[in-house]
Structure 1
Amino acid sequence: MWQLLEPLHAVTYFAPEALAASDAVGMRGFWMGYFASRAAPLGPVGPGVVTAAFHGFPPARVARALPDAWTFATPGDVLRARLDGAGAALRNVLTDKVIGSDDMRAAADLAWEAARLADTAGRVLGAANQALPAPDEPHLLLWQAATTLREHRGDGHVAALVAHGVSPVQAHLLKVAAGETDLEQLRLGRHWDDEEWEAGAAALRERGWVDDSGVLTAEGARERGRIERLTDEAAATPWRALGDERTSELALLLHPLTTAVLESGVIPPSNAIGLPRSLAAGEDGRGLTLPAVPSRIG
């Protein structure tokens, strides 16, 4: 479900319409818009809160954007801009016909129900997004549901990392070691300095999780797999509450929408999120297998 929903959410990071909407309310460049838009559901919080909640960024990078962003726009302004930008991006990719379809309404309603059913205890970003009002238009409702569910999952992932003593830098290096994203692209995007990056690598080598070339060892693969399984388990509550049949129905409804987003090229094939290149496994095996579908759905 993450592979189906994340690309719909992620247009907010990559689509030019989203950047234009952020700039229009006064954000100064991509990173100020990024930190402000993800943090806006929490209110006008400062860099310490955002550094802790996001987990993956050095404090100095966050402090370059916050709290200055709130002198240019209120959190409410930023929330409206991020919804407008994501909506414009989805409308451009999916076309008006798809946006206005019965399938879009059905997907939005099911995804929103799943988002409302998510257990947010201990999940700050998930809870803050869940508390936002439901947008009227189906594609905006779907985007907000996808955003709530991905932040809910992210909160659980951070908890699993912290419980395993994995620092933000070490988490990035594990992602690289698993072949999910490019090393230099991740370093550029997250902007940890060389000393911090090497310290994280040295700590993983000392734990026996990566070898001298930065590749996962057998122990590292086991430990990382355990973190990913715990993340999946922590993210399962909305899908258990929605039920297998309706979750499978939502998967079918989302598949053509997500395929359209991935095939549009709006999300680069190599990205820090680790999104698949398509929903069909390619040569590198990255892709999606749909769950078993009840026969009545066809």
Structure 2
Amino acid sequence: MDQQHSRHGYARRCAQAVNSLHSIPYFTTDLADLVAPLGITDHSSVYLVGRASPLGIMNPAVVTAVFNSFAPVLVAERIPALWDLISPERAIQAREEAVAVALERLVGTETTQSPELAEAAKLATAAAAACALPGRPLYAANSALDVPEQPHVALWHAATMLREYRGDGHIAVLGHFGLTGVDSLVIDCASSLGMAKEIVMPMRGWTEAEWAAGRERLADRGLVDPEGRLTPRGTAVRDEVEDETSRLDRQPYDALGPGEVERLARYVHRLVGTAADAGVFPPPLRGFFAPTDDVWNAL
């Protein structure tokens, strides 16, 4: 039982670390600099160009559905119009170019060319390749792409696949608990483990009125109090969501085995920490994306 607990503990820590690695290009200007000459300048458009490009040209309703937490208006204002400015294929190329430059700048050439990183890329790629496609649209879209040749970009690509695999499962769990759209953000921000509303709400394109309506729905269910704080019932539901998400996320890590998962988790955590030390994450978000060793070990 202890070995099983340890194995699943490192799987969860690895999931946290690869999610943070995946997020790095959305906190640098490298992708924005590449697409700005094409007329793509606001942050939400740059984000969608990077993350939605593997889906190809899709109806905005489909993108809204698979992303779950973005306001439909924000997506519809940009999709599919963005693909008139840049093709999904060129966007995929641009994000890989941006990742290559950003990671080399943040962690150094010695690290990006090291045998340790190459081994981590192989482990992450093997884990990502072991996932099943059904019910995982963003994972499936990324899994159809070629594996990048540069090891540090290949590691990021595998981290993205693993992040999207977990995310697809998380959205399914949220749907089971009736927590879709803005409601999923409201309950997450109400937790001490979530990001602040002031960061999340504008980033995802929701209005104050929409946020208040989501809070009212959750209050009617007894999940938050009138001030928007989690109730004991809300805390229990949020914990259930996270536990079930982790259960649905075991496949890639079970495929590696406990020793390899631990090595991958520890390496990516250190790599993200180095990038955080270089200033990639805004100070309010550093603890969220690059937790201290004590916090990370407690996950």
Question: Partner residue of 1:143?
Answer: 156
* Corresponding position of 1:261: 275
Q: Could you say which residue in structure 1 is the equivalent of 2:48? A: 35
Q: Decide whether the 8 Å contact of 2:27 with 2:281 is kept in 1.
A: yes
The C-alpha deviation readout for 1:203-237, integer Å capped at 9, x for no partner, is 11110011112111111111110011111111111
Residue pairs, 1:204-243, within 5 angstroms? 204-243=218-257
Q: 2:297 aligns with which of 289, 293, 296?
A: 289
Q: Show the counterpart of 1:188.
A: 202
Of 20, 24, 42, which aligns to 1:11?
Answer: 24
Shift of 1:23: 2.2
Counterpart-to-counterpart distance in 1, 2:18 and 2:252: 13
Q: Deviations over 1:76-124 (max 9, x none)?
A: 0000001111111101001111111100100011001111111221000
Which residue pairs with 1:284 in the alignment? none
The 10-residue stretch of structure 1 (99-108 or 6-15) with the greater mean CA deviation from structure 2: 6-15
Q: Distance in 2 between matches of 1:105 and 1:277?
A: 22
Q: What's the counterpart of residue 153 of structure 1? A: 166
2:46 counterpart of 1:46: no
Q: CA deviation at 1:256?
A: 2.2
Contact 2:136 2:165 in 1 (8 A): yes
Q: Which residue, 264, 282, 285 being the options, matches 1:250?
A: 264
Aligned length: 285
* Separation of aligned partners in 2, 1:49 and 1:176: 25
State the TM-score, normalized to the length of structure 1.
0.91
Q: How far did 1:3 drift?
A: 1.9
**Cα shift at 1:22:** 3.0
Which amino acid counterpart does residue 110 of structure 2 have in structure 1?
Answer: K
* Cα 1:91/1:25, change in 2 over 3 Å: farther
Shift of residue 252 of structure 1? 2.9
Large movers: runs of 4+ above 3 Å? none
Higher helix residue share: 2
Question: What SS does the aligned partner of 1:187 have?
Answer: helix
Match 2:101 to one of 58, 69, 88: 88
Displacement after TM superposition at 1:255 (Å) = 3.1
Q: Structure 1's 288 and 42: CA in aligned 2 closer, same or farther, altered over 3 A?
A: same
Amino acid at match of 1:135: P
Kindly indicate whether structure 1 or structure 2 has the higher relative contact order, using CA contacts under 8 Å at least 6 residues apart. Answer: 2
**Inter-CA distance 31–42: structure 2 relative to 1 (3 Å threshold):** same
| 3-state secondary structure, aligned to 1:275 | helix
The one-letter code sitting in structure 1 at the alignment partner of 2:297 is T
| TM superposition score normalised by structure 2 | 0.91
| Partners of 1:257 and 1:96 in 2: CA distance | 13
Moved more, 76-85 or 179-188: 179-188
Asked if residue 120 in structure 1 is aligned to residue 133 in structure 2, the reply is yes
Does the residue aligned with 1:288 lie in a helix, a strand or coil? helix
Contact 1:10 1:267 in 2 (8 A): no
The reply to whether residue 176 of structure 1 matches residue 189 of structure 2 is yes
Distance in 1 (alpha carbons) for counterparts of 2:154 and 2:136: 21
* Contact map agreement 2:137 2:168 (CA 8 A) in 1: yes
- 2:214 is aligned to 200
AA aligned to 1:241 is: A
Structure 2 gaps of 5+ residues are: 1-13
Distance between the aligned counterparts of 2:267 and 2:38, measured in 1?
33
Correspondence for 1:57: 70
Taking every aligned residue pair, what percent have the same amino acid on both sides? Answer: 34
- Answering whether residue 98 of structure 2 is matched by residue 98 of structure 1, we say no
Cα pair 1:9 1:143 within 8 Å, conserved:
yes
Secondary structure, aligned partner of 1:66: coil
Q: Which secondary structure state, in structure 1, belongs to the residue aligned with residue 132 of structure 2?
A: coil
| Displacement of 1:290 | 7.8
Judge conservation of contact 1:107–1:253 (CA < 8 Å) in 2. yes
